[in-house]
Chain A
Amino acid sequence: MSAPLVLHRVGKRYRRRWALRDCSLSVPERAIVGLAGPNGAGKSTLLGLAVGLLAPTEGRVEVLGRDPWLEPDVLAGVGYVAREAPLYRSFSVRDTIEFARATNPGWDWSIASEYLTRLDPDQRVSALTAGERSRLALAVALGKRPAIVLLDEPFERLDPLAAREFLQLLMDGVSELEATVVLASHVIADIERVSDHIVLLGDGHVRLDGSAEELIATHRLLTGAARPLGRIAGVEEIVRRRHSARQMTLLVRIDGQVVDPSWSVDEIGLEDLLLAYMAPERLPGPQEPERGRLRWHG
């Protein structure tokens, strides 16, 4: 099978505001994709397009090779856990699962039941804790044996213990189903642990798209004495720079080995890397003229 989720120059406009613009990406099969970005970056819109809840204003969305808006049949292969796991509050746990079974021809009891072991079937959804509700939502999403699962901020209301348990259940289900996963969260630490592919959204655009390993392999943190910047051998682009009176720290994308001994070269973790790309002080490359330092007059 080809890429389970493809966006081709997709844009989505709500009235006058573009939530997504000119987004192209292709999610590799069986990847676990961390969809990162600050609130309002377009993550929920992207997921809504992928699960056929929204129609793109421009461009083309393909899920499992088909258009989810025009061919909703394809959604039988798509699991979705929406923000705050919305379920019918007046339904019991049993009603919820019965409803999911009745509406999904490929329903698999053995998978769903793994998530339900500690839930009381007669309990109403409105009386469940956030952790229990998210387990139920996971049972509904994975019970249909989806080829791709999309989750929107699944950790938002969970305490750390419930969040870890949710992640264990999700990873266990995914490894059995061999499914592709798209996990949207504005908290990078939540997705860093499991993601092998990262899509970073900012202001409705794709800022970064690549395998986590490749992103880490192509970025370095350089620390050295403050100086006017020329070209540094091995550096392709300076993503961000910070300096104090004497010291300078550069986040760079490299295209070779940086062996200049006047810089100390360190690897950068995924979380710091993504935060740097999200930070507003992102500056263009070395051609930018040096600005005067701000001084504190006390």
Chain B
Amino acid sequence: MIEFHLDPRSGVAPYLQIVQQVKEALRLGLLDVGDQLPTVREVVADLAINPNTVAKGYRELEASGLVEARPGRGTFVTGTLVAPSQKHHEALRRELERWLDSAERAGLDEESIRAVISTTLREAFVRRVA
């Protein structure tokens, strides 16, 4: 069964962390159709978090069709996220590695590389929203 963890410093709302961790487990194939998620009370007692948070995360997963709450029995996985896109990951990673090599050759250290990436990401996403 999946075990959740909570990073209060991540800036991601706690209910979204739960959603993301379930999706991550689905993507990696650690959770499969028919598997049961821990009950709200189990998560609450385990992590010392707000029961509303867990319920909200589960509702969100249910709305996206990934899980189903069966009254009196628990919440079960009904969808899968093992992505067909996964086969592209390897090629994309190799491209990124090539880019990193050229950044290093241009004299950027790790922090500068991170700064370039995060600025570019931010601008790309802002452009999309705007």
**Contact pattern, B 56-89, Cβ under 8 Å of A = 1, otherwise 0:** 0000000000000000000000000000000000
**Contact pattern, B 2-15, Cβ under 8 Å of A = 1, otherwise 0:** 00001011010110
**Contact pattern, A 249-283, Cβ under 8 Å of B = 1, otherwise 0:** 00000000101010011010100000000000000
CA distance in complex: A197, B60 (Å): 19
**Contact pattern, B 89-130, Cβ under 8 Å of A = 1, otherwise 0:** 000000000000000000000000000000100110010011
SS of B interface (majority): helix
B20: interface (CB < 8 Å): no
B40: interface (CB < 8 Å): yes
Within 8 Å CB of B44, what residues of A?
A: 168, 171-172, 175
The total of interchain contacts (Cβ-Cβ below 8 angstroms) comes to 56
Instruction: Find out whether the CB atom of A174 lies under 8 angstroms from the CB atom of B49.
Output: no
Instruction: Find out whether the CB atom of A216 lies under 8 angstroms from the CB atom of B52.
Output: no
A213: interface (CB < 8 Å): yes
Instruction: Find out whether the CB atom of A172 lies under 8 angstroms from the CB atom of B41.
Output: yes
Q: Give the residues from 147 to 194 in chain A that come closer than 8 angstroms, CB to CB, to chain B.
A: 164, 167-168, 171-172, 174-176, 189, 192-194
Bin the interface of chain B by size. Answer: 20 to 34
B48: interface (CB < 8 Å): yes
Bin the interface of chain A by size. Answer: 20 to 34
Instruction: Find out whether the CB atom of A176 lies under 8 angstroms from the CB atom of B49.
Output: no
CA distance in complex: A72, B119 (Å): 59
Q: Give the residues from 32 to 49 in chain B that come closer than 8 angstroms, CB to CB, to chain A.
A: 40-41, 44-49
A30: interface (CB < 8 Å): yes
Within 8 Å CB of B40, what residues of A?
A: 175
Instruction: Find out whether the CB atom of A32 lies under 8 angstroms from the CB atom of B50.
Output: yes
Instruction: Find out whether the CB atom of A259 lies under 8 angstroms from the CB atom of B126.
Output: yes
Instruction: Find out whether the CB atom of B48 lies under 8 angstroms from the CB atom of A164.
Output: yes
Q: When the two chains form the complex, which single residue of A30, A176, A194, A213 contacts B41, counting CB atoms closer than 8 Å? A: A176
Instruction: Report 7 cross-chain contacts, Cβ distance below 8 Å, ordered by A residue.
Output: A30-B52, A171-B51, A193-B14, A195-B50, A196-B52, A257-B126, A259-B126
Besides A168-B45, A269-B9, 14 other CB < 8 A contacts?
A31-B52, A32-B52, A171-B45, A171-B48, A171-B49, A171-B51, A172-B44, A175-B41, A193-B14, A257-B126, A257-B129, A259-B126, A264-B122, A267-B11
